[in-house]
Each structure stands twice: as structure tokens, then as C-alpha cells.
Amino acid sequence: MAPMTEAGEDMYGLVERLYPLCRSITGDGVRATLEIVGEYVPLQVHEVPTGTQVLDWTVPQEWNIRDAYIADAAGNRVVDFAASSLHVLGYSVPVAATMTLDELRPHLHTLPEHPDWVPYRTSYYKPDWGFCLAQQTLDALPDGDYEVRIDSTLADGHLTYAEHVVPGRVTDEVIVSCHTCHPSLANDNLAGIAVATHLARALAEQQPYYTYRFIFAPGTVGAITWLARNAERVARVKHGLVLACAGDPGSLTYKRSRRGNAEIDQVMRHVLGVSERPHRITGFTPYGYDERQYCSPGFDLGVGSLSRTPYAGYPEYHNSADNLDFVSPAAMADTLAVCREAVAVLDRNRRYVNLSPYGEPQLGRRGLYDALGGRSDTKQAQMAMLWVLSLADGEHSLLDIAERADLPFDAVATAADALEGAGLIKA
């Protein structure tokens, strides 16, 4: 348990470092985020110019912001971007003006139902400006003139995303994707970035069967850009997982791929089921995170989504209450553990053919029974061998066999290794 506890603390430390940065779908905040992630795993960073056609979309202008505030007549900043990156409407155009409170009100966003929380709002594709603030702050503002300043730029530049690849024994790929476009929101999606980063580190210490490609990209347009620029690689993608909302106190939720019966769907159902963790499995919907891009009908990749409390499913979603107190090392460690368990199954899940299919082969003379002598799970191991021999027809995977036989996947995979070593089955 100690290694997972340590991993949880490490992930929380990464979230703490990333939390103050102002991220958006483009800009220096994304670059600064990737620079920090790059201290944990090496990244290949891609810069895609404004105006580049990516499928049905166009890479937008790049947005950067240096300062923003609303100041009262005495010069006091009553709303200050320096205090939180949530205080500015994302992609706000530059503003330098003095206006009355009534003139300012149409540009102010609050959450009246949670008067001490600050909402997260954006205007990516419609030129606009605004501030987000607590309702109680707004209620306390007297009538009068206010200085309004947004020191931002919206100009031709680049969309930035990054990849980290863990080479496998085969070139078939598993993609793990998380979005990098949210500002100071700890669960959505800094926890997802942290879990993906530490999963990549764990895989780098192994020799995985599949090649694992980790994608750190802004939501929607970033995933679309990756798909547009990797058309030749998409055929290699056999499985995938989108990570989001990975650190809150809720139980785990897995959202199936558009196919509904992809191998990753079966793996996640099995792993969550046998773990006896509280969890939910939901069907695919074309709304949520970037699974909807990877699963769009032209690609139809086997990509599901893993979160704790799902998209928009908790009051703290997309507001200042999604802070460092809302996520925990233990929750991120639990999410990471499930990812590692799923990868272990995915990497060992094969289909085999019985090379001695006429009658049951004699296992004793091949030393297979002797090799089990003294094990506490001897009977289970023997049954696993018999089930693998029975269903090794090229159609059933090891996970199919484990579920049909009601046996642990590890027992079935271990039996397959022994049978393959004895020349009785082949992949």
C-alpha cells in the first residue's frame, strides 16, 4: 500500500503546482503546464498554427492574458485575476475602460445558488469579455464608476498539445488522453493530468505489450487536431481511455465507448467488478469529454472514459469549489490503481488456439500438474488450465474465458503461459 500512498502524494503535489496557472485552449498557460508535466515524463510538444484546417474545425487565434481587474473609485481591486484565473471569462478580448456598475453588470457572471463560489466561463469562438465573481462580492458593490482592465491578446499563434509514448512489444497502440484547457480547477482536469502522468511513469518501468501513447491536449479542438494530424496512425489504435475528474471523493464511473462492446469496455467492467469497489458503468453519450471525438463515427475507436463523479455530476463542477481541498491523494491513487489493473489485463488478454484439441491432453506427463504442487490455489490453477484448453479456439480471449469460468483473470493468464510453454496452445 505504501507505493500507492506515495504515488497519491506525488500526484497531489503535481496538481498543487499546476493549479495556479491560467490555462485555455491555447496560450502560454498550456505551455507552462506541459513544461511542468515534462519534468515527470518526457514530452514531444506540437505547435499547430492558427488557421490550420483540422477536420471540420480551424485552429483558432492564440489567447494570452497578463492581468485583469475591476477597481473601485478608491483604486481597490474588487475583482482580481491575480487572485484566481477563474475571475476572467476565458478568451476575453482586451478592455480598458471606466464604466458604471449598471454598464458593467451584463459582463459579470455569478452563481446565485452558491453565493461564495466563482464560476468558470469561456467565450472561445465569439469575441466577448467578462469577469466571474462570487455573488456576495457583486451584492456588496456600491453604485458608482469602476475601472475595468483586461490586459490580454488574441492574435495569430498556435494551438499546443503534447504526447508521451511508452514503446511496447508491438506497434498497436493504446491511447490515454486528458485535456489541458481548464484554468484553476483541481478535479477537472488537473487530477486527470496527474493520473495520466503517473500511469505513464509506471508503464515506463515495465515492458508493456502494447505501445502506450499519452495525449495532453486542449478539449475538443485539441483532440480533433490530434486526430486530423494522425490519420495514418489511427488504424493502430486498438484501445483507449480518456481520464477526467479523477481526484474527487465520489466512487468511480466508467463510460463505455460508442461501440459499447469494445475490449476496453469489457476490461473496465471486469476490473471494476472484481475489485469490489463501489462504481458505476454508464452507456456512451455523444457529450462529455474527448471520448466523443475518438468515438465519432468516422473513427469509431474503442475509447471509453474513466472518472470518479462524472461530467457535470457534482456541485463543485466548473467553479472555484473545485479546488485543492476537493481532491485528495487517496482518490487519485485509487483511480491510478484501477488504471494499472486495467492495463495489466489489457496487456495480457490474448486469443489462443489449442494445438491438441482432440481429447484432453495429458498434463501430468508434461509436468504441468507437478508444477502446481503445494500451491494453495492448486485446484483453481488446474481448472484454469482446463478452461483455457477448452476455449482456446481462436475466438475466446483470456478475459472471455475468465468471465465464463468465473475465475480470476490472473489465474487464467498464468495457466495460458504454462500451456503455451508446454507447446499445447499458441497465440
Q: What is the pTM of this model?
A: 0.95
| Full pLDDT tens readout for the chain, 427 residues | 456 789 999 999 999 999 999 999 999 999 999 999 999 999 999 999 999 999 999 999 999 999 999 999 999 999 999 999 999 999 999 999 999 999 999 999 999 999 999 999 999 999 999 999 999 999 999 999 999 999 999 999 999 999 999 999 999 999 999 999 999 999 998 999 999 999 999 999 999 999 999 999 999 999 999 999 999 999 999 999 999 999 999 999 999 999 999 999 999 999 999 998 999 999 999 999 999 999 999 999 999 999 999 999 999 999 999 999 999 999 999 999 999 999 999 999 999 999 999 999 988 888 887 655 455 577 888 899 999 999 999 999 999 999 999 999 999 999 999 999 999 999 9
CB < 8 Å & 24+ apart, contacts of 77-83:
78/137, 78/141, 78/146, 79/131, 79/133, 79/137, 81/22
Q: Do 193 and 178 contact (CB within 8 A), yes or no?
A: yes
DSSP code string of 53-78? EETTEE---EEEEEEEEEE-TTS-EE
Containing structural domain, residue 254: 2-60+158-348
Q: Are residues 305 and 370 in the same domain?
A: no
For residue 84, the model assigns a pLDDT of 97
Q: Are residues 165 and 130 in the same domain?
A: no
Rounded to whole angstroms, how far apart are CA atoms 424 and 427?
11
Enter the C-alpha cell of residue 342.
Answer: 486495467
Q: Are residues 181 and 268 in the same domain?
A: yes
Q: Which of 100, 121, 155 is the last residue of a domain?
A: 155
Who's near 110: CB < 8 A, 6+ residues apart?
A: 119, 132, 133, 134, 135, 138
Q: Which of 331, 348, 365 is the last residue of a domain?
A: 348
Q: Are residues 54 and 191 in the same domain?
A: yes
> Using the 8-state DSSP alphabet, how is residue 40 labeled?
T
Hunting for cell 458608482 — which residue is that? 144
Residue 197: what residue type?
T
Rounded to whole angstroms, how far apart are CA atoms 334 and 25?
29
Q: Are residues 305 and 210 in the same domain?
A: yes
Rounded to whole angstroms, how far apart are CA atoms 139 and 63?
31
Q: Are residues 277 and 298 in the same domain?
A: yes
Rounded to whole angstroms, how far apart are CA atoms 421 and 427?
11
CATH of residue 330's domain is 3.40.630.10
Q: Are residues 395 and 260 in the same domain?
A: no
Q: Are residues 164 and 143 in the same domain?
A: no
For residue 1, the model assigns a pLDDT of 42
Cis peptide before 189 (omega within 30 of 0): yes
Q: Are residues 274 and 316 in the same domain?
A: yes
Q: Are residues 373 and 274 in the same domain?
A: no
Phi, psi of 378 (to 5 degrees): -55, -45
For residue 122, the model assigns a pLDDT of 98
Q: Which of 108, 123, 155 is the last residue of a domain?
A: 155
Q: How far is CA 270 from CA 111, 209, 264, 345, 384, in A?
A: 40, 20, 10, 9, 17
Q: Are residues 295 and 176 in the same domain?
A: yes
The length of the chain, given as a count of residues: 427
Number of domains the chain contains: 3
Neighbour-count burial of 75, counting CB atoms closer than 10 A to its CB (0-12 exposed, 13-18 middle, 19+ buried) = exposed
CATH of residue 417's domain is 1.10.10.10
Rounded to whole angstroms, how far apart are CA atoms 190 and 216?
11
Q: Are residues 221 and 125 in the same domain?
A: no
Rounded to whole angstroms, how far apart are CA atoms 68 and 110?
17
Query: 282 has which bridge partners?
Result: 255
Enter the C-alpha cell of residue 195.
Answer: 493520473
For residue 200, the model assigns a pLDDT of 98
Q: Do 250 and 309 contact (CB within 8 A), yes or no?
A: yes
188 labelled binding-site residue: yes
For residue 371, the model assigns a pLDDT of 55
For residue 376, the model assigns a pLDDT of 59
CB atoms within 10 A of CB 201: 15
For residue 205, the model assigns a pLDDT of 94
CATH of residue 118's domain is 3.50.30.90
For residue 240, the model assigns a pLDDT of 98
